[in-house]
Amino acid sequence: MGKAANRAQLRALGVAAALSVWAPMAMALPQEAARFASIEGGALDLTAWRGRPILVVNTASHCGFTDQYEGLQALQDRYGPEQLVVVTVPSDSFNQELDSAAEVAEFCEINYGLDLPMTDITPVRGPDAHPFYAWLQRSEGVAPRWNFTKVLLDAEGEYVAHWGSTTRPLAPRLTREIDALLTR
């Protein structure tokens, strides 16, 4: 029996539909997952940057990888806000963040001169994870294992790739993915 006949039989049995639930599928970011509280007050909505790739990075001020803020700012400067948006998500999920959003904002401005969009202090793991991270876990099986996990979304808000803490913001394997999105 040929492949087409096998598929037809599976469809008739409903197996294909059941199996498709397990197949990985790219899903655009749902609206509720796109909204964060901004560190400056108000809301920060990722859909405001639709049409541009977005790199979302969970951060912490007392982490051994905190110097990556410099690379994140350099990445934003390299591509410019019209091409790429780098969003930082301060989090105390790994017990390494300052006590208040005001302290985080001041720390980042004084030490790194950041002008990147920044959320309020936000949980990124577990039952209290922000809807963005819950969506990422549910749809892609990705959850930050540590601070400075980088998640790349394409211009339509679909997951592209992620990198752990040890991948520096200007690493070629990360910038190649950004470049590929910008040449589409």
Residue tagged active-site, from 29, 63, 86, 121: 63
10 domain residue, yes or no: no
85: left (phi over 0), alpha (psi -120 to 50) or beta: beta
Greatest CA separation for the chain = 69
CB 90 within 8 A of CB 121: yes
Per-residue pLDDT of the chain (184 residues; tens, 9 = 90+): 443 444 344 344 444 333 333 333 456 788 899 999 999 999 999 999 999 999 999 999 999 999 999 999 999 999 987 899 999 999 999 999 999 999 999 999 999 999 999 999 999 999 999 999 999 999 999 999 999 999 999 999 999 999 999 999 999 999 999 999 998 6
Active site residue 108: no
Q: What is the CATH number of the domain that holds 45?
A: 3.40.30.10
Count of domains observed in the chain = 1
Amino acid at 114: L
- 120 lies in some domain: yes
DSSP letters for 68-104? HHHHHHHHHHHH-TTT-EEEEEE--TTS-S-SSHHHH
The reply to whether 144 falls in a domain is yes
